[in-house]
Amino acid sequence: MCGIVGYVGAGNAQDIILDGLSKLEYRGYDSAGISIIESGKMKTRKLSGRLGVLAGSLEKDPISGTIGMGHTRWATHGAPTDDNAHPHTNGKGTIAVIHNGIIENYRPIKDELLALGYKFKSETDTEVIAHLLDHYYEGDLLQAVFKTEARLRGAYALVVMCESSPDEIIAIRHESPIILGVGEGENFIASDIPAILKYTNKVVYIENKDIVRLTRSGYEIFGEDRKRIDRQVRTIEWDLESATKEGYEHFMLKEIYQQPSVISETINRRLDENGSLFLENIAIDEDTIKLINKIYVVGCGTAYHAGLVGRYLLQEFLKVDAQAEIASEFRYSDHYIDDKTLVVIVSQSGETMDTIGALKAAKAKGARILSITNVVGSSIARESDDIFYTWAGPEIAVASTKAYTTQLTAFYILALYFGKLKGTLEDKCYDEILAELKTLPGKVEASLPAFAEKAKAAAQEIKDSKSIFYLGRGLDYYTALEGALKLKEISYIHTEAFPAGELKHGTIALIEEGTPVIAVATQQSIYEKMVSNIKEVKARGAVVTGITRKRNTDLSEVADTVIYLEESFNIFMPLLSVVYPQLLAYYTSLAKGNDVDKPRNLAKSVTVE
């Protein structure tokens, strides 16, 4: 989604803002723009296309100044054109605004402003804000912002500047995330930390409904009641290096290869000196866990797929009814939820709008909220009763990989911990499963080189396919879903996942000579059934890649190619079996010449509904 960077200080605003925006490119965008106050005059430049287009224009004709803001836009209202790009300004170009999110009531406001004689240059919802500010401005920008903000409905992060106040930037957070970077004689506002990390590691997470005014010498935050309020300054522990490619061609490849170490980190941070599990930030005790009679696991996309596996584990280990739900569906459903319901929210970013909506809906009904997230201090973390941080480090590629495997790891740990606490998991099982969990990073590591070689070769075979199918049963079906999502989102090949037993109820009609089928067959109790399903698609011309455990050597008699996984318990197979599909998606996208890390139409952090 849109990227925001604002700067006020003594440095070159143009360079700092362009540099910050480049760190937010992973969020996905289609145009970029900048406003800087140069010698007392607001100058705005905005162009459709990549950031390089704007940077090229600014190189030829720079804007010099020490206060400014920039934006990368992911189109919602209006096509990605120069006019629709942000910043948007009032008619005189003296007040500028950038925005991430959606103003739901922009239509009636626009009608009102048109009636007052305001002229619009864009099709965006954002432009009404610039004109509203103009309407309310009487020499005090902060007061104009207060009045304007009171008129808006929807989700937004806004940053505002005014030519007549050349020392201040004002930002608003309303559902869409924004952070303040605190420097020496300079301050920053941004939609994410990598944008400012080169300049400061002191950060304030702006709370929902806060308004912040930043100047060269300091900042003030106003809470919902518009009274001044203090917010904690946090020190970011990770450095910019962890948000760079470190020699890998793409972030996605780096993140795939980081999986052994980040899975280890996720586990090791929960082991005490005796090698047993302990969980900080989780206050659920024996009495509470025994009272829980229903669990919902909620997320979007990849996080939802992790939730499917998590649901299975929680139900199995806690002997309680558990259901996985897509957040955008869950938030508007009428599930029976009360204070005996545990809702597990899964979100890498902790900022996904639908997931936040689901969390709030469940909380309002009295559920206890446990979130699994990768971002410390994110909106989801702040709204939750209990938090499990995945410690995957920043995930930059839009296609999620290490976030998924660390989310799975989180579920293994939570299910073990709660199972033991509740007494539904025997000590012997707990010990064996925990011991096996600790071996997983090594098993992923061992498989990477061979999987990469095989995926590279397979990518050449499938890159021109019209359709690809993933099949699986039980836990393998969840890997199939995640494998298909990975492949479709970055290769743009139509890819679907099906429960293998369901094929003959319709989908098998799509299988024709040469259709690639990837069959995940790791669950021993239903292995023979998978073999039969593979034979069914083979008989109709499919070219089958099987993914199975080392022991199932007979699969090579049925499938055209077999990817063998390290042996482990059934429950751990989702973590081991997803690595090859991740690499296959990566190499197929590469073979097609796509932008692997920033696939078309997608954004890393989905902060609109």
Return the residue of 44, 347, 491, 545 that touches ligand M6R, per CB under 6 A.
347
Is 2 marked active-site? yes
Is 428 marked active-site? no
- CB of 68 or CB of 394, closer to ligand M6R: 394
- CB of 35 or CB of 409, closer to ligand M6R: 409
Copy the structure tokens of residue 450.
């061979």
From residue 274 to residue 313, what is the string marking binding to ligand M6R with x (rule CB under 6 A)?
--------------------------xxxx----------
Copy the structure tokens of residue 493.
């090949």
Q: Which of 2, 420, 486, 598 is catalytic?
A: 2
Copy the structure tokens of residue 508.
């098998």
Q: Give the nearest distance from C-beta 551 to ligand M6R in angstroms.
A: 31
Footprint on residues 83-102 left by ligand M6R (CB under 6 A): none
Q: According to the binding rule CB under 6 A, does residue 256 interact with ligand M6R?
A: no
Residue span binding ligand M6R (CB under 6 A) among the ranges 393-401, 423-431, 432-440, 448-456:
393-401
Q: Give the nearest distance from C-beta 404 to ligand M6R in angstroms.
A: 8
Closest CA to 136 of 84, 95, 88, 87: 95
User: How long, in residues, is the chain?
Assistant: 609
- CB of 94 or CB of 401, closer to ligand M6R: 401
- CB of 300 or CB of 575, closer to ligand M6R: 300
Footprint on residues 408-437 left by ligand M6R (CB under 6 A): none
- Beta pairing, strands 179-182 & 211-214: unpaired
- CB of 169 or CB of 358, closer to ligand M6R: 358
Q: According to the binding rule CB under 6 A, does residue 54 interact with ligand M6R?
A: no
Q: According to the binding rule CB under 6 A, does residue 399 interact with ligand M6R?
A: yes
User: Helix, strand or coil for residue 395?
Assistant: coil
Q: Give the nearest distance from C-beta 395 to ligand M6R in angstroms.
A: 8
- Given a contact cutoff of 8 angstroms between Cβ atoms, the answer to whether 96 and 145 are in contact is no
- CB of 8 or CB of 585, closer to ligand M6R: 585
Q: Give the nearest distance from C-beta 89 to ligand M6R in angstroms.
A: 32
Angle, alpha carbons 15-21-22 (nearest 5°): 90
Closest CA to 193 of 380, 60, 5, 45: 5
Q: Give the nearest distance from C-beta 364 to ligand M6R in angstroms.
A: 20
- CB of 299 or CB of 441, closer to ligand M6R: 299
Q: Give the nearest distance from C-beta 253 to ligand M6R in angstroms.
A: 14
- Position with the least CB separation from ligand M6R: 301
Q: Which conformational region is residue 423 in: left (phi greater than 0), alpha (psi within -120 to 50 degrees), or beta?
A: left
Could you tell me which residues come within 8 angstroms of residue 518 by beta carbon, excluding any fewer than 6 positions away?
468, 469, 470, 471, 480, 483, 544, 545, 547, 581, 584
Q: According to the binding rule CB under 6 A, does residue 606 interact with ligand M6R?
A: yes
Q: Give the nearest distance from C-beta 100 to ligand M6R in angstroms.
A: 15
- CB of 260 or CB of 357, closer to ligand M6R: 357
- Beta pairing, strands 3-8 & 67-73: antiparallel
Q: According to the binding rule CB under 6 A, does residue 14 interact with ligand M6R?
A: no
User: Which residues does residue 341 pair with via DSSP β-bridges, in sequence order?
Assistant: 294
Residue span binding ligand M6R (CB under 6 A) among the ranges 9-17, 188-196, 344-352, 408-416:
344-352
Q: CA-CA distance, 402 to 265, in Å (whole number)?
A: 12
Closest CA to 325 of 372, 293, 358: 358
- CB of 341 or CB of 390, closer to ligand M6R: 390
> Residue 553's CB: how many other CB atoms inside 10 A?
11
Residue span binding ligand M6R (CB under 6 A) among the ranges 18-26, 65-73, 395-403, 408-416:
395-403
- Given a contact cutoff of 8 angstroms between Cβ atoms, the answer to whether 118 and 92 are in contact is no
Q: CA-CA distance, 125 to 134, in Å (whole number)?
A: 16
Q: Give the nearest distance from C-beta 543 to ligand M6R in angstroms.
A: 25
Q: Give the nearest distance from C-beta 307 to ligand M6R in angstroms.
A: 10
Q: How many residues bind ligand M6R (CB under 6 A)?
A: 15
Please report the DSSP string for 214-277 in residue order: E-SS-EEEE-TTSSB-----EE--S-GGGGS-TT-SSHHHHHHHTHHHHHHHHHHTTB-TTS-B
- CB of 151 or CB of 592, closer to ligand M6R: 592
Q: Which of 46, 110, 420, 604 is catalytic?
A: 604
- Beta pairing, strands 169-174 & 154-162: antiparallel
Rounded to a whole number of angstroms, the CA Rg of the chain reads: 25
Could you tell me which residues come within 8 angstroms of residue 528 by beta carbon, excluding any fewer than 6 positions away?
none
Angle, alpha carbons 397-82-597 (nearest 5°): 10
Q: Give the nearest distance from C-beta 24 to ligand M6R in angstroms.
A: 15
93 half-sphere exposure, CB direction, 13 A CA radius: 12
From residue 349 to residue 388, what is the string marking binding to ligand M6R with x (rule CB under 6 A)?
x--x--x---------------------------------
H or E element at residue 8: strand 3-8
From residue 451 to residue 490, what is the string marking binding to ligand M6R with x (rule CB under 6 A)?
----------------------------------x---x-
Return the residue of 47, 196, 362, 398 that touches ligand M6R, per CB under 6 A.
398
- CB of 300 or CB of 500, closer to ligand M6R: 300
Could you tell me which residues come within 8 angstroms of residue 575 by beta carbon, excluding any fewer than 6 positions away?
263, 405, 408, 409, 412, 440, 444
Active site residues: 2, 604
Binding footprint of ligand M6R on the chain (CB under 6 A): 300-303, 347-349, 352, 355, 398-400, 485, 489, 606
